[in-house]
Chain A
């Protein structure tokens, strides 16, 4: 009876009669919610089969997800070319894994190299040209499109956000003013309107004959909004730096860009990284909004699959599957950012 484990349990769950009552009510609620859910998700669900007829039980019909799985991943990307998407994905995972290893020699240089070279390589792999068959962006879709939107919008948003944050703290009033207007404008409007703006208006305000790809337009729209949010995250990092750092560097006679690059930004970005990751998560979630301009991201392709007469009424299965992918990706990123924040707090002794 005196096992420490039981004692902790008692302390944490049954310390007072009120506590005990709360615990029991919670347990009851959890029980009532999770049992039917588990039945639907797992026990009563149909896993094997090739068509709708296989689904007889009351549970979920995962056959639908199985049959449509490759579409959820690649959209309408031509089947013989899908290896290219796989390679691009593998490259992404491998680089991310390699760079997160802290003992990697020349880690910083490699990071910069991969950030500049890999996006181009990825674009070449996915789009084609130079010996590869061209696969137009209208055939892209599913999870792959979601990732493309997130990564490329992020790649534009981060540098732009840093510049805007610097601009907002600039000594020059006009630059400061322009940065503030830009940031507050994009932060003040809903992303759905921005995507509309990018997809409907951009072709009208470009010179005729100058066509911007539909996907590129969505990427640009998302990038501008997220850049504004990134700028605020970076500004938080910049504000956390003591003024003395810049002053000391100025006293040494360093120029503005040099001070920013060598002294201010490396420290500020490290502080701002968790906040920036949160903006990145927001970007990832917000890519779902492109479905209003008929781009078929993960959610869009799930909805398109629902319109297939053979699978009408599989709403729950489609949304649960797609939602689970979003959830795991976002949860992983937010955990990473939280760990990073803890480490930072330890380092700065807060």
Chain B
């Protein structure tokens, strides 16, 4: 009797898998990360240790910033609630192992996209949410106007950052000599510069605008306007799990598309109800079931716009004119307005 039971069960399961096989192929590819996120009910976001404007925790432990806003948008899209994010602050050294060993679902921490990182670290970059350009901060009384005036200077920098290599290359190419002091953390480099160990500290224009408030006397320092590099930065994921990569990429695209299409957190309800623009309708889930294709609900983009806002709103609030950093849009403006931001169509 037992044997027949087993045989029957085996037959059933074989038949079942034969029927289900083709059916499965039409449904979604499995996504380990997305399933894990849904099961645990929050997103694990790897952020910077503390960079005002991008990811910074106040003394109550509340995070804010452009990168943090991205994490919140992702949570709103995936889980329907922008508050369902937990942040893991990572140093320059920790970021890759933390991502590789699945302690975080993604990194959103001012990390420059480079070839060798992409090729050897097992990470993929899912788009650009900030075009950064490297420059220097110097003491005003040093009377430096251009980067080349820094010849023979001592520069403090975070070890292993792209800034370290870019600065070294820039001066070497021009046959100028500088001394670079590598610190393990950005904050260590900043306080050493502030204490007078170095003549300059180098980082991105946006990062410096935020880090400037960490100096004892911000007024005594001046950020050079000359930029020596192009450092695009954006959310970063592991290799593998393409569907999760898809979600991460298109959440960023949705932030940008919303701004391009004029959808804001204030008018999103109205747009959803009344808009006749078919791209807006597809973005907001009125038409086309785009959410389902990724394994999300169809109001994924509606949620993120409603709860966090489009890219422009987020920019103004965190690093733009509405913030302490007062950064102009510059390259981070939409391509239609002279910037570099664009998104593939929601079609």
Instruction: Name B195's closest neighbour in chain A (CB-CB).
Output: A315
CB distance from B180 to the nearest CB of A (A): 21
The stretch of B88-96, B248-256, B334-342 in contact with A is B88-96
Q: Does A200 contact B (CB under 8 A)?
A: yes
In the bound complex, do residue B102 and residue A208 qualify as a contact, i.e. CB atoms below 8 Å apart? yes
- The answer to whether A304 and B102 touch (CB under 8 A), given A138-B86, A293-B94, A294-B89, is no
Q: Does A204 contact B (CB under 8 A)?
A: yes
B residues lining the A interface (CB < 8 Å)? 49-50, 52, 57, 59-61, 86, 88-91, 94, 97, 100-103, 184, 187, 191, 194, 213-216
In the bound complex, do residue A203 and residue B214 qualify as a contact, i.e. CB atoms below 8 Å apart? no
- The answer to whether A294 and B214 touch (CB under 8 A), given A203-B101, A204-B101, A211-B102, is no
In the bound complex, do residue B216 and residue A76 qualify as a contact, i.e. CB atoms below 8 Å apart? no
In the bound complex, do residue A308 and residue B187 qualify as a contact, i.e. CB atoms below 8 Å apart? no
In the bound complex, do residue B86 and residue A294 qualify as a contact, i.e. CB atoms below 8 Å apart? no
- The answer to whether A292 and B184 touch (CB under 8 A), given A76-B61, A312-B216, A313-B216, is yes
In the bound complex, do residue A204 and residue B61 qualify as a contact, i.e. CB atoms below 8 Å apart? no
**Residues on A with beta carbons closer than 8 Å to the beta carbon of B86:** 136, 138
Docked complex Cα distance between A305 and B61 (Å): 12
- The answer to whether A204 and B100 touch (CB under 8 A), given A199-B94, A309-B52, is yes
**Residues on B with beta carbons closer than 8 Å to the beta carbon of A303:** 187
Q: Does A132 contact B (CB under 8 A)?
A: no
Partner among A138, A200, A307 whose Cβ is within 8 Å of the Cβ of B88: A138
CB distance from B57 to the nearest CB of A (A): 8
Contact residues of A between 273 and 310, Cβ < 8 Å to B: 292-294, 303-309
Q: Does A179 contact B (CB under 8 A)?
A: no
Interface size class of A (residues with CB under 8 A): 20 to 34
In the bound complex, do residue B50 and residue A204 qualify as a contact, i.e. CB atoms below 8 Å apart? no
- The answer to whether A309 and B213 touch (CB under 8 A), given A294-B49, A294-B94, is yes
CB distance from B189 to the nearest CB of A (A): 12
Q: Does A19 contact B (CB under 8 A)?
A: no
Instruction: Name B90's closest neighbour in chain A (CB-CB).
Output: A294
CB distance from A215 to the nearest CB of B (A): 12
Instruction: Name B100's closest neighbour in chain A (CB-CB).
Output: A204
Docked complex Cα distance between A113 and B57 (Å): 41
Partner among B52, B91, B184, B214 whose Cβ is within 8 Å of the Cβ of A312: B214
**Residues on B with beta carbons closer than 8 Å to the beta carbon of A305:** 59
Q: A138-B88, A204-B101, A292-B184 are in contact. List 5 more A-B contacts (CB 8 A).
A: A294-B94, A309-B52, A312-B194, A312-B215, A312-B216
Q: Does A86 contact B (CB under 8 A)?
A: no
In the bound complex, do residue B61 and residue A307 qualify as a contact, i.e. CB atoms below 8 Å apart? no
Q: Does A46 contact B (CB under 8 A)?
A: no
Instruction: Name A136's closest neighbour in chain B (CB-CB).
Output: B86
- The answer to whether A211 and B103 touch (CB under 8 A), given A309-B52, A312-B214, is yes
**Residues on B with beta carbons closer than 8 Å to the beta carbon of A208:** 102
**Residues on B with beta carbons closer than 8 Å to the beta carbon of A304:** 50
Q: Does A58 contact B (CB under 8 A)?
A: no
Instruction: Name A141's closest neighbour in chain B (CB-CB).
Output: B61
Docked complex Cα distance between A139 and B62 (Å): 11
In the bound complex, do residue A294 and residue B216 qualify as a contact, i.e. CB atoms below 8 Å apart? no
Docked complex Cα distance between A203 and B100 (Å): 9
* Per-residue B-contact encoding for A190-225, CB less than 8 Å = 1, 0 else: 000000000111011000110100100000000000
* Per-residue B-contact encoding for A162-200, CB less than 8 Å = 1, 0 else: 000000000000000000000000000000000000011
- Can you show 30 pairs from A to B with CB atoms below 8 A apart? A68-B59, A76-B60, A76-B61, A136-B86, A138-B86, A138-B88, A199-B97, A200-B94, A200-B97, A200-B101, A201-B97, A203-B97, A203-B101, A203-B102, A204-B100, A209-B102, A211-B103, A292-B91, A292-B184, A293-B94, A294-B90, A294-B91, A303-B187, A304-B50, A305-B59, A309-B52, A309-B213, A309-B214, A312-B216, A313-B216
**Residues on B with beta carbons closer than 8 Å to the beta carbon of A209:** 102
Q: Does A71 contact B (CB under 8 A)?
A: yes
In the bound complex, do residue B102 and residue A307 qualify as a contact, i.e. CB atoms below 8 Å apart? no
Docked complex Cα distance between A238 and B347 (Å): 77
Which of B52, B59, B86, B89 has most chain A Cβ within 10 Å?
Answer: B59
In the bound complex, do residue B59 and residue A308 qualify as a contact, i.e. CB atoms below 8 Å apart? yes
CB distance from B247 to the nearest CB of A (A): 20
**Residues on B with beta carbons closer than 8 Å to the beta carbon of A313:** 216
**Residues on B with beta carbons closer than 8 Å to the beta carbon of A308:** 59
Docked complex Cα distance between A201 and B101 (Å): 9
In the bound complex, do residue A139 and residue B215 qualify as a contact, i.e. CB atoms below 8 Å apart? no
Partner among B97, B101, B103, B214 whose Cβ is within 8 Å of the Cβ of A307: B214
Instruction: Name A210's closest neighbour in chain B (CB-CB).
Output: B102
Instruction: Name B103's closest neighbour in chain A (CB-CB).
Output: A203
Docked complex Cα distance between A76 and B86 (Å): 13
Docked complex Cα distance between A199 and B215 (Å): 31
Docked complex Cα distance between A83 and B91 (Å): 32
Instruction: Name B216's closest neighbour in chain A (CB-CB).
Output: A313
* Per-residue B-contact encoding for A132-148, CB less than 8 Å = 1, 0 else: 00001011000000000
**Residues on A with beta carbons closer than 8 Å to the beta carbon of B88:** 138
Docked complex Cα distance between A305 and B57 (Å): 11
Please list the 7 inter-chain residue pairs (A to B) with the smallest Cβ-Cβ separation, ordered nearest first.
A203-B101, A76-B61, A309-B213, A200-B97, A313-B216, A204-B101, A312-B216
Instruction: Name A200's closest neighbour in chain B (CB-CB).
Output: B97
**Residues on B with beta carbons closer than 8 Å to the beta carbon of A214:** 103
Docked complex Cα distance between A156 and B232 (Å): 46
Docked complex Cα distance between A306 and B190 (Å): 12
**Residues on A with beta carbons closer than 8 Å to the beta carbon of B187:** 303, 307
Instruction: Name B184's closest neighbour in chain A (CB-CB).
Output: A292
**Residues on A with beta carbons closer than 8 Å to the beta carbon of B94:** 199-200, 293-294
In the bound complex, do residue A139 and residue B216 qualify as a contact, i.e. CB atoms below 8 Å apart? no
* Per-residue B-contact encoding for A225-239, CB less than 8 Å = 1, 0 else: 000000000000000
In the bound complex, do residue B59 and residue A307 qualify as a contact, i.e. CB atoms below 8 Å apart? no
Instruction: Name B88's closest neighbour in chain A (CB-CB).
Output: A138
* Per-residue B-contact encoding for A85-102, CB less than 8 Å = 1, 0 else: 000000000000000000
In the bound complex, do residue A71 and residue B59 qualify as a contact, i.e. CB atoms below 8 Å apart? yes
CB distance from A183 to the nearest CB of B (A): 28
Docked complex Cα distance between A209 and B102 (Å): 8
